[in-house]
Chain A
């Protein structure tokens, strides 16, 4: 085959997938403002995505904060700049590590679960059954999950911020011998509303990405168990890549001077 033909085919496939994803996203979002609404489903998804992700996010955040304090101390002590540890920990956690680590962990947990659930519904004809029962599958399956992703991720990241800073505090105070009051004072002094807000905006975007990728790949899965497995893998991988890409873009928007 002509190499140009192969490149063209890949490019056209990419454009096709992008177009399908954008129209899927637009359709899913458009149902947010179009009745009927499914408050019970939205609430259940919020509990699934928000409440049941708390242990994963909490554990990730506490260890990230602890490691960050320890590594910062190793580096900063060479320049007698140990006092900046509280600053580094709180800025890193609120601006970057909180949203990104929570996003990636929840992409694994929720992205995979959404793709597997909706994918199984697709291959067992449950999505077709919804249509025959006067229910729009996009409205019933996709929109509630998008709403839950967008609203729950910022709350998860808020929790991750607090727990991450607490992890740094534990290591700084109990291992490195910092004064607890000074450490907390430094943390508080360096923290600005912009740091937290930027993290929360990132979280909402990441939540949207994770739920969108889970729903999109699940909804379009084909075949049997293998198709669902592929959809699950694609959901997690594409969500993780998009999280890292959009993280850079959002950081540029918020902080590039």
Chain B
């Protein structure tokens, strides 16, 4: 079973009305691997991630986690599989009504893995792992900057020591220095937790830093994948255009929705 991928997608398809977003995605993510999906805005990166998390249901295809088919699972089975996941959302998605420490340890409290006092202590430890001091624990999310919210979101994603962590555009909206700090933290914490990581981004600096392997999504399909070292000589015109950020090339941006 050592060769069973941690996550396996086969022929996954999803449409919204007439708009086909995913058109037969095939992807394997190995145990302990860090895969980054790159692609332009609106190419279906987030839809793919949400399909794996069970937040959206694909119309076709198979998604396996540790060899177990997750499409069509019952709610309770899905919750069991979701215990393996941690997720850093694009906008951090912290709960406004709860202090930072309760945000970080929310999953632990929800699963009744500890009492509130222990949860506070664990939250402080996890915050320290992402470079934040204990004073932050009792603040409300609205009192934090965007970069700090991302760090709290990262602490929340790793709080339950997940086997798989998803990163949804982790550096979007951050200045280059803070983006690099978040990239370093992602590399550090995934290594510490020993997790498999699947990230989506269109920030190439981020992709180069956190990926073992990169896959490019275009028009609902994975059009290229390979080790991050190979990305500069992929031989794929779409990848070349994307990583160099050129307007000219096979990828034509739609100016109308």
**Which A residues form the contact surface with B (CB < 8 A)?**
36, 120-121, 124-126, 128-129, 131-136
Q: Are A134 and B91 in contact, with the CB atoms below 8 A?
A: no
Q: Are A125 and B90 in contact, with the CB atoms below 8 A?
A: yes
**Which B residues form the contact surface with A (CB < 8 A)?**
50, 53-55, 75, 79, 82-83, 85-87, 89-91, 93-96, 106-107, 110-112, 156
Q: Chain B contacts of A134 at CB under 8 A?
A: 79, 82-83, 107, 110-111
Given contacts A128-B50, A128-B55, contact A133 B91 (CB under 8 A): no
Q: Complex Cα distance A136/B55, Å?
A: 12
Q: Complex Cα distance A44/B15, Å?
A: 40
Rounded to whole Å, the gap between the CB of B128 and the closest CB of chain A is 21
Q: Complex Cα distance A101/B50, Å?
A: 44
Identify the closest chain A residue to B111 (Cβ).
A134
Q: Are A128 and B107 in contact, with the CB atoms below 8 A?
A: no
Q: Are B106 and A128 in contact, with the CB atoms below 8 A?
A: no
Known pairs A126-B95, A129-B95; list 9 more (Cβ under 8 Å).
A120-B96, A124-B91, A128-B55, A128-B89, A128-B93, A129-B94, A132-B85, A134-B83, A134-B110
Q: Chain B contacts of A120 at CB under 8 A?
A: 96
Per a CB cutoff under 8 Å, which of A121, A132, A135 touches B87?
A132
Q: Complex Cα distance A135/B103, Å?
A: 13
Q: Are B93 and A125 in contact, with the CB atoms below 8 A?
A: yes
Which residue among A120, A126, A132 has the maximum number of chain B CB atoms within 10 Å of its CB?
A132
Q: Chain B contacts of A128 at CB under 8 A?
A: 50, 53, 55, 89, 93
Rounded to whole Å, the gap between the CB of A217 and the closest CB of chain B is 19
Q: Chain A contacts of B55 at CB under 8 A?
A: 128, 131-132
Q: Chain A contacts of B85 at CB under 8 A?
A: 132
Q: Are A131 and B82 in contact, with the CB atoms below 8 A?
A: yes
Q: Complex Cα distance A36/B79, Å?
A: 13
Q: Are A136 and B82 in contact, with the CB atoms below 8 A?
A: no
Per a CB cutoff under 8 Å, which of B53, B86, B90, B106 touches A135?
B106
Q: Complex Cα distance A125/B169, Å?
A: 13
Q: Are B110 and A133 in contact, with the CB atoms below 8 A?
A: yes
Q: Are B53 and A131 in contact, with the CB atoms below 8 A?
A: yes
Identify the closest chain B residue to A132 (Cβ).
B87
Q: Complex Cα distance A139/B211, Å?
A: 37
